[in-house]
Amino acid sequence: MSHPEISARVSRRTVLLAGVALAVTGGLVRAQAPAAKAATTTNVANASNAAKARIGVIGSGRIGGTIGGLWVKAGHSVMFSSRHPEELKSMADKLGPLAQTGTVAQAIAFADVLLLAVPYGAVPAIGEQNASAWRGKTVLDATNAIAARDGAVVEEVQRNGIGATTSKYLRGAKIVRAFNFTGATEFARESHRSGAPLAVPIAGDDAQALEVASQLVRDAGFEPVVVGGLSTADRFAPGGKLFRQMGTAEEFRRAMAQQ
């Protein structure tokens, strides 16, 4: 057989193999396209669900009322709760149909995410009264332990840290410390301000809960800064060097590095 004939057969075989490879590749691309589209659709759906989180506010005073109100304005459904929910009706009515009121137990049952904003002395009782309801809940803990107000539990906070103490009483909850480093007046004034947003420090041990908390901080008009795990939460509680550290995220991180 002559060399030209061999070359011709090799060339025809190469073309045929290339055609098969192209057909297989095309088939894989077509097979993967619906899967990619489905994955994209799922991600969009998850984002949509996250944007419509149901939030329960436990303790609807100055901090709870202010932050909860900012979330209502951002499009979240919020249940404001207290021992006397009837006293919250006027506030909820002003916020519109996304706001409602209820008892603490009703708010926990209603919510995907909770904001805890009660005097710290009430935390042990709230934890005990709803002992079976906390498991799996993400709780943004905006409380602060004040010696002149909160009694013996303050000594426990000083001994063990506020993050660990809240976790002890809200057993099974995914705790993120947030919205406790300054007061309601500052949050109301600085929300969605012009220029770089106000940094809000957060701390927690659960990565998914930190993601949820970060998004809710942004929805309220601020920029989250993760300080660390729950053991770092005392850094921005009363007495900590980052308490009332007001500034942008960049400024807050610089202050963290210096402490």
CATH of the domain at 90: 3.40.50.720
Contact 100, 92 (CB under 8 A): yes
The answer to whether residue 189 is domain-embedded is: yes
| Tens of pLDDT, residues 141-157 | 999 999 999 999 999 99
Q: Looking at the predicted structure, is the pLDDT value of residue 49 above 90?
A: no
Give the three-class secondary structure for 223.
strand
CB 139 within 8 Å of CB 167:
no
Residue 127 in domain: yes
Residue 202 belongs to domain spanning? 54-257
Rounded CA separation 58/138 (Å): 13
The 8 Å CB, 24+ separation contacts for 185-190 are 186/246, 187/63, 187/66, 187/67, 187/70, 187/220, 187/222, 188/66, 190/221, 190/222, 190/246
The reply to whether 81 falls in a domain is yes
SS3 state at 60:
coil
pLDDT at 51: 63
pTM of the model: 0.81
pLDDT of 89 strictly over 50: yes
Look at residue 249 and tell me if it is in a domain: yes
Residue 202 has pLDDT above 80, yes or no: yes
- What average pLDDT score do residues 37-48 get? 39
User: Both tokens of residue 125?
Assistant: 């009782």
Quote the CA–CA distance of 122 and 104 in Å, as a whole number. Answer: 12
C-alpha pair distances (Å), 213 with each of 69, 77, 210, 219: 16, 16, 5, 10
Cα–Cα distance for residue pair 78/54, rounded to 1 Å: 6
- For 227, the token pair is 């300080």
Please check whether residue 112 lies inside any domain of the structure.
Answer: yes
Across the range 125-140, mean pLDDT stands at: 97
Q: Mean pLDDT across the chain, nearest whole number?
A: 86
Q: Kindly state the average pLDDT of the residues 228-233.
A: 98
Query: How many domains does the structure of the chain reveal?
Result: 1
| Radius of gyration of the CA atoms of the chain, in A | 27
Question: How many other C-beta atoms are found inside a 10 Å radius of the C-beta of residue 193?
Answer: 11
Tell the burial category of 120 from Cβ atoms under 10 Å away from its Cβ (0-12, 13-18, 19+).
Answer: buried
In a domain, 135, yes or no: yes
Statement: residue 110 has pLDDT above 80: yes
Confidence of residue 259 (pLDDT cuts 50, 70, 90): confident
Inside any domain, residue 17: no
| 57-78 mean pLDDT | 98
Q: Which of 36-45, 74-83, 86-95, 161-170 has the lowest mean pLDDT?
A: 36-45
Nearest alpha-carbon partner for 68 in 97, 108, 106, 95: 95
In percent, the amount of the chain with pLDDT more than 70 equals: 80
Angle at 136 between CA 114 and CA 78, to 5 degrees: 20
Tokens 């995220």 — which residue?
Answer: 249
Residue 150 belongs to a domain: yes
